[in-house]
Amino acid sequence: MEGKPLKDLFSFDISPYAQWQVYPSGGVIFPPWEELTQLVYLVEGRAKCTTSLENGAVTILDFAQGPCFLGEMELLGVQEMSSEVTAQTECRGWVIQWEHCREKMLADPVFLRALCVASNEKAVRVTAAAVRNQNYPLKNRLATFLLNTQHQGVYQEPHAQAAAYLGVSYRHLLSVLAAFQREGLVEKTPEGYHLRDWAGLRALQIPDVLSP
């Protein structure tokens, strides 16, 4: 979605319902299983959306990169309880409290058009991830995942979540990570995995041909 000022996404004055918010890296944007009454228009930053399964495992649903909307499913009434959304990098954006303006938002053609564009871009992104997971070896998928989720050159995703997202076993993931270390692509430290050979990782990266 093309980044636009908040006022350009609505045909009415949204400012009485909106507040500028900055979330630090690691900060919670939406706690899990909470009934939401707000929509976030993420202007800058990257956030991770996860959900908890009945067995206690945490699964990655998506990585959201600003500009985009967060919480639109709850606004539309498609789901009532939120998935957990946390800031991977510092995130900045507008929080819209929609308790008193929901009907105006859902009747606003300008906003609905922006929401449709954002929703379709998200669908394309999720489809592209599925295509990558089905058609490329893990070394290519993992290199892409490292580059897309690193923050300031450090990769810190929990192995179990990464393995589930990539559709591989925990052991297989660790085996390829170990190979990356031997090849000098990454270095394991107490902070996480430092990306050392950016050119080498980019050579393995999958072209994101389905992305908008």
pLDDT of 25-47, one tens digit each?
999 999 888 788 899 999 999 99
Classify residue 12 by its DSSP letter.
S
CATH architecture group of domain 136-204: Orthogonal Bundle (1.10)
Paired with 188 in beta bridges are: 193
Does residue 212 register a pLDDT over 50? Answer: no
Q: How confident is the model at residue 181 (pLDDT cuts 50, 70, 90)?
A: very high
Question: What homologous superfamily does CATH list for 6-131?
Answer: Jelly Rolls (2.60.120.10)
Q: How confident is the model at residue 147 (pLDDT cuts 50, 70, 90)?
A: very high
Whole-prediction pTM value? 0.83
**Side chain identity at residue 115, one-letter code:** L
The whole-angstrom separation of Cα 208 and Cα 212 is 9
The whole-angstrom separation of Cα 177 and Cα 187 is 10
Residue-wise pLDDT for 59-71, tens only, equals 888 899 999 999 9
- Answer whether 125's CB lies under 8 Å from 211's CB: yes
Within this chain, domains 6-131 and 136-204 share the same CATH topology: no
Does residue 211 register a pLDDT over 60? Answer: no
- Answer whether 124's CB lies under 8 Å from 132's CB: no
- Answer whether 47's CB lies under 8 Å from 62's CB: no
Domain boundary assignment for the chain: 6-131, 136-204
In residues, how long is the chain? 212
φ/ψ bin of 150: left (φ > 0), alpha (ψ from -120 to 50), beta (otherwise) = beta
Residue-wise pLDDT for 73-113, tens only, equals 889 988 766 789 999 999 999 999 999 999 999 999 999 99
